[in-house]
Amino acid sequence: MALILDLAAQAVQMLMVVAIAPLALGVTRKVKARLLRRVGPPVTQPYRDLWKLLHKEAVVAANASWLYRVAPYLLFAATWVAAALIPTYSTDLLFSWSADLIAIVALLGTARFVLALAGLDVGTAFGGIGSSREMLIASLAEPAMLLVVFTVALLVGTTQLSAIATQFIDASVGLRVSLGLALFSFVFVAIAENARIPIDNPATHLELTMVHEAMVLEYSGRHLAMIEATAALKLVLYASLLVCLFFPFGMATNDKGVVALAIGVVVWIGKILVLSALLPVGETTVAKMRVFRYPIFLGGAFASAALAVFLLFVSKGF
Amino acid sequence: MATFVGLWVVAQLLANSALAVLIGRFRAGTPIVYGVSFAACLVGLGGALWQLFGNAAGVPETILPIGLPGVGAHFRIDALSAFFLAVTNLGGAAASLYAVGHGRHETAPMRVLPFFPAYLAGMNLVLLADDAFAFLVSWEFMSLTSWALVVAHDREPENARAGYIYLVMASFGTLALLLAFGLLAGPDGSYTFAAMRAAPPGPTFAALVLALTLVGAGSKAGLVPLHVWLPLAHPAAPTHVSALMSGVMTKIAVYGFIRIVFDLVGPIAWWPSLIVLALGAATAVLGVLYALMQQDLKRLLAYSTVENVGVIFIGLGLGLAFRANDMAWAAALAVTAALLHVLNHSIFKSLLFFGAGAVLGATDTRDIERMGGLIHRMPKTAITFLVGCAAISALLPFNGFVSEWLTFQAILVSPLLPQWGLKMMVPAVGALLALSAALAGACFVKAFGVSFLGRPRSTAAERAQETDRISLGVMFLYAAICLLAGVLPGFIIDALAPVVKLVTGDQLPKQSVIAWLSVVPIAESRSSYNGLVILIFLVVSGTLTAAFVHRVSTRATRRSAIWDCGYPDPSTATQYTGSSFAMPIRRVLGASVFQVEERVSMPEPGDARPARFQVRVFDPAWRFAYGPLARLVAATAGRLNYLQFLTIRRYLTLTFSALILLLLVVAAWR
């Protein structure tokens, strides 16, 4: 019986991240439009877009291989599994031990690997440009992300997300300089990984500076729907990760009561929506960067996370 | 018993080598020779596994009346050599079986066949040796046989140069090892390993031995800056030999390092581990950066070997640091990570070389800029190569991730180390390891994407044919091992336990009894990983999604021309090439690391000449280390040339004064 309940809790988590993802994207777009003094589409528009795309005929290039058609599902599956393993509303989910933070970073790396290959599959200049730049961003962002992981792991002595969240909630860690640096770094990495301004512009479709959109340019129909859904899911994933690492308060710990879980769910959704609303505020204040300025942006993230790690190696007190 | 099996395998391989001389010229000779090598390696693998699992306690040494007169040569198998024997013979068996199919591409079988079994025998002998003399002779035998294979196709100008550089570096490495053993043997000249173990040298000599071993074994393994021969020599050999050199022989070098530094030297101070860590981290990052810049598929793989050797040495360096501070449990974690990466790398690098060989056989080129679209022409090779790429890029749920994850776990324990030098060094090493992992992903997206995806860039790629069934069988087997070892790493970690126990004095907790077959290196609350659950999750969620989408949405699919934002270009030359793929990283990270020479020649308007763009990437090791060294040697030789033209009177004076000088030295020494 306990196992069934645990499985149910895990299933709730899996379904919830997928269900809320388009909403988070919708909120982001709506707030961004309002900040630009446009009315903007309704917050439910991403759901409708996905539904529309799902019912369109998929046009596949004549020379596309099986990899091109499988990639959207692989991509979605890898991102979904990563999102499902991050504690969102409760710290003791059934499978949260099966992948620690490093493994979750690697899962996202797997998704990116598949997408970059899909970008190269048809053999166009746009696909190549997107894949090449995506891998450049990844090779700068992933080390920064792993240093953030190191920071947190050194502070609490574990890379298990549930254990990290539990320790932070118990307030045995408190406010730290290193955590501030790590948060700064994490936000930069999250912006880069989600292809947001100033690294990439999710609203563009014909610009030589685009990265993610160039990679998926050939996709259409249900395949594109999967890729769009993945993008939304990834946004929620990074928001959940940020919440779990830095603001885990409100999460149910060691309490499988319905009330605690319900509070956890509500608080989590609230936090995700707040973050979705904050993202466009940042986005509207900066301009898109040139490709060869990315290293400065991500190098800043890397340096601040590295500083945090060095501080912690010097003393646990930072 | 196990030692006997090992020696029998060596004898069998040497006999096979002689057989190859006799029958190599016949058509049927090739499969026979490779088949016999395959069988011998399987026996060796069986013996090694039996030793590893059934007989953890050491076996007494076997003394053969060969070698130095009166003392003989000592041979023995313990857990450490059994593990490396298993790696070697697994790789040897796979390469032999692959060659049964792939060998038909060989144009000059008599230049390959006799040396191949001898090379396998040499590698086996190094692992069996239990005294310095046997070790060095087998080491040199292994080097020479592999050199013969490198220059098998000596008509190609690059190969002759590769062979020459390899020979020089190999002799240099052996010299360093010889000196290291000389220091270990001490004034008594006791040259068996048992005697060296019994009388460890003092701390200064221990550090010196470590430095010499780092040079000797490191040059064979490909540590930066001693790696320069590797990317020249490994690709020059026939492909199944390249697989052995990259996948297995670099591991023999790692064995040499572990045997001397962890086993024979005895306790070592903490600071030498700084050097090992720094070299390992530099090797990991530089190796993958060079790999990313290559257009030659086999050379790319060879440079990636350099990277993986760096990862292994990071693990070993951490092991040394922990061991020097009496943290045996942490040393066990680090060494387990290194040994697991030894096994994993030997598997996926061999797999990738097999794939590269299949592509080479089908398209007759190693240049990825002339490939493209091979996934359509060689679908089975493509799948296995893709698995290899995923495994080497440390992607879930394959085996490369597990060893890299364990290395990261070992790095995260390191704040417990007391020394400040290590406290500063280890996080930097961790950051560099993370960087190299990310760059490896980019490197293998390029390797697979440019050669197998896209549109064919040459007629050879357009007409490529799938490779033979035997090669494919080996590749699928290895791809399956990559997945299995990634999903169920606990069993392998358990199998490594006696080896780690021997090397560090401690071992990881037993993994295969943990619930759900997770991997828990230290404690459940600290970190755990379960590849099996992840794989099930991935498969289930992927299948469910696909089923849901196909059920809810329309399944209508239309094939059409490429869209490319409305401006498709029929020319395949407009695709992204390998060098354009690597351009952003070359510009961002390369400026400080490489010597890049970009030459643009743009003809004037009205001029009918084609425009040209040329990029050349130089390995700075040549300019900063080897160039000056070579010039120094040449200058010294030029000076000494003078000695050739003396009169007999002066020669006699010179000889006499040399004698007096030596006598004086001896007298002062006494």
CB contact under 8 A, B412 and A100: no
User: pLDDT tens digit string along A254-265?
Assistant: 767 888 888 989
Cβ–Cβ under 8 Å, residues B119 and B245? no
Please, which residues 406-425 of chain B have a Cβ atom closer than 8 Å to chain A? 408-409, 411-412, 414-415, 423-424
Provide, as residue numbers in chain B, all residues whose Cβ is less than 8 Å from the Cβ of A61: 559-563
Split at pLDDT 50, 70, 90, the class of B612 is: confident
CB contact under 8 A, B455 and A57: no
pLDDT > 90? residue B203: no
CB contact under 8 A, A138 and B442: yes
The residue-averaged pLDDT of B444-453 equals 95
Provide, as residue numbers in chain B, all residues whose Cβ is less than 8 Å from the Cβ of A56: 554
**Residue-level pLDDT at B60:** 73
Provide, as residue numbers in chain A, all residues whose Cβ is less than 8 Å from the Cβ of B408: 102, 146
Single out the residue of A188, B247, A77, B431 nearest to residue B439, CA to CA.
B431
Q: Greater confidence, B590 or B480?
A: B480
Split at pLDDT 50, 70, 90, the class of B57 is: low
**Residue-level pLDDT at B58:** 60
Split at pLDDT 50, 70, 90, the class of A60 is: very high
Provide, as residue numbers in chain A, all residues whose Cβ is less than 8 Å from the Cβ of B546: 73
Q: Could you give the CA distance from residue B450 to residue B581 in angstroms, rounded to a whole number?
A: 9
User: pLDDT tens digit string along B465-518?
Assistant: 999 999 999 999 999 999 999 999 999 999 999 999 999 988 888 888 887 788
**Residue-level pLDDT at A205:** 66
Single out the residue of B304, B319, B321 nearest to residue B270, CA to CA.
B321
Split at pLDDT 50, 70, 90, the class of B83 is: very high
Beta carbon pairs, A and B, within 8 Å: 284
User: Rounded to whole angstroms, what are the CA distances from B334 to A48, A286, B180, B669?
Assistant: 51, 44, 25, 43
The residue-averaged pLDDT of B647-668 equals 93
User: pLDDT tens digit string along B345-372?
Assistant: 999 999 999 999 999 999 999 999 999 9
Split at pLDDT 50, 70, 90, the class of B616 is: confident
Q: Could you give the CA distance from residue B181 to residue B125 in angstroms, rounded to a whole number?
A: 17
Among the listed ranges A115-124, A141-150, B360-369, B588-597, which one has the minimum average pLDDT value? B588-597
Q: Could you give the CA distance from residue B623 to residue B412 in angstroms, rounded to a whole number?
A: 36
**Residue-level pLDDT at B396:** 86
Rg (chain B; Cα; Å): 26
Q: Greater confidence, A288 or B115?
A: B115
Residue B247: CB atoms within 10 A of its CB come to 31
Report the half-sphere exposure of B290 (CA within 13 A, side-chain side): 28
Q: Is B527 left (phi over 0), alpha (psi -120 to 50) or beta?
A: beta
Single out the residue of B449, B438, B343, B448 nearest to residue B395, CA to CA.
B438
- Closest partner residue to A123 (CB to CB) among B455, B549, B559 is B455
Smallest Cα distance from B486 to chain A, Å:
12
pLDDT > 80? residue B38: yes
- Classify residue B587 as exposed, middle or buried by CB count within 10 Å of its CB (0-12, 13-18, 19+): middle
Cβ–Cβ under 8 Å, residues B442 and A134? no
- Closest partner residue to B528 (CB to CB) among A63, A160, A302 is A160
Please name the residue that has the structure tokens 């470590």: B210
**Residue-level pLDDT at B447:** 96
pLDDT > 90? residue A131: yes
Residues 6+ apart with CB under 8 A from A30: A40, A41, A42, A43
**Residue-level pLDDT at B603:** 87
Instruction: Give percent above pLDDT 70 in chain B.
Output: 99
Which tokens in the block code for residue A212?
């993610």
Smallest Cα distance from A23 to chain B, Å:
19
Among the listed ranges A53-57, A82-86, B601-605, B633-637, which one has the minimum average pLDDT value? B601-605
Pairing of strands B612-618, B595-601: antiparallel
Residue A55: CB atoms within 10 A of its CB come to 14
Please, which residues 575-594 of chain B have a Cβ atom closer than 8 Å to chain A? 575-576, 580-585, 587-589
Provide, as residue numbers in chain A, all residues whose Cβ is less than 8 Å from the Cβ of B539: 77
Instruction: Give percent above pLDDT 90 in chain B.
Output: 64
Split at pLDDT 50, 70, 90, the class of B439 is: very high
Split at pLDDT 50, 70, 90, the class of B28 is: confident
- Mutation for B interface: A136, A164, A185, A309, most B CBs within 10 A: A136
User: pLDDT tens digit string along B268-290?
Assistant: 889 999 999 999 999 999 999 99
Mean pLDDT of chain B: 91
The residue-averaged pLDDT of B236-258 equals 95
The residue-averaged pLDDT of B215-239 equals 92
CA dihedral A146, A150, A156, A160 (to 10 degrees): 40
The residue-averaged pLDDT of B249-266 equals 94
**Residue-level pLDDT at A202:** 80
The chain A residue lying nearest B432, using CA atoms, is A143
Q: Could you give the CA distance from residue B518 to residue B531 in angstroms, rounded to a whole number?
A: 7
Cβ–Cβ under 8 Å, residues A88 and A268? yes
Helix A101-121 × helix B399-413 angle, to 10°: 140
Helix A2-35 × helix A258-285 angle, to 10°: 30
Q: Greater confidence, B8 or B68?
A: B8
CB contact under 8 A, B449 and A125: no
Please, which residues 437-466 of chain B have a Cβ atom closer than 8 Å to chain A? 437-439, 441-442, 444-446, 448-450, 453-455
Cβ–Cβ under 8 Å, residues B534 and A98? yes
Q: Could you give the CA distance from residue A258 to residue B308 in angstroms, rounded to a whole number?
A: 49
Provide, as residue numbers in chain A, all residues whose Cβ is less than 8 Å from the Cβ of B538: 77-78, 81
Provide, as residue numbers in chain A, all residues whose Cβ is less than 8 Å from the Cβ of B529: 98-100, 103
User: pLDDT tens digit string along A189-220?
Assistant: 999 999 888 888 887 766 666 788 889 989 99
Provide, as residue numbers in chain B, all residues whose Cβ is less than 8 Å from the Cβ of A126: 564-565
Please name the residue that has the structure tokens 């953030």: A148
CB contact under 8 A, B445 and A309: no
User: pLDDT tens digit string along B545-585?
Assistant: 999 999 988 888 999 998 888 888 888 888 999 999 999 89
Split at pLDDT 50, 70, 90, the class of A155 is: confident
Among the listed ranges A239-248, B219-228, B585-594, B633-642, which one has the minimum average pLDDT value? B585-594
**Residue-level pLDDT at B623:** 80
Split at pLDDT 50, 70, 90, the class of A164 is: confident
